[in-house]
Structure 1
Amino acid sequence: MTATAVGHLVRAGLLVYLGGEMATPDIHPDQVAALARRRDLPALLDRHALPCTAPGTQCACARQACGGLIPVPYCTEHGRTAEPAMEWHPAGGIRCTHLTRPAPRTGDVPAPVPGR
């Protein structure tokens, strides 16, 4: 497992660093084994990013129904070298589901009842 992969798993809260050197992180093999046994691991690792600005025409990332995207390393806007500010949320989670819902139309809101 690469240091980058370990870093992603630590930031996701799935692993814990044991050492202080980030270039060569120390992690306990039992942590990795326990993580590998989780049935929900693919869902834990599938996260969408909502960029703070709209993606441009040069964006190579996969777009999602929630308006988020899955960044790819070679994207000039959202890849490794760009490091844009983004809000991350788990795929299929509460935030993703909320963003996927259509916005309510103004005609759907009941009018206030006078005298109440």
Structure 2
Amino acid sequence: MNILWENEKPLIASEIADARPDLTINTVQAVLRKLLKYQLIEVADIVYSGTVLSRSYRPTITSEEFAVLEVTSDYLAFEKTLSKPLLVSALLDTEEDPVKARETIDELQKMLDEYKKTLEEQEP
């Protein structure tokens, strides 16, 4: 996914394999099949690679969206032992810059206010 995110244009399997010396075309093709199955990538186009037609691929989500999915999935695995307020508090504790911490708190407060408003609108 990182290789696809780092490139502005869609890539074919061989270009992905060429991007890192530790990747083989067989590994890349297997991973592409899984990523397609989970709809994390899509076929962008059918292009010529020399004289052969090849599929080019592009991501369907950003790296940020993917990270959120991963963190959310991990959180759900610990949901019974880790509360949301405790998690947010622990994340805030990692910020060393008080100005950035305050900005984050202000942003979170705005998000919470908007979420609360949405919930109130949904109540009968």
Q: How high is the TM-score relative to the length of structure 1?
A: 0.26
- Greater gyration radius: 2
> Which of the two has greater helix per residue?
2
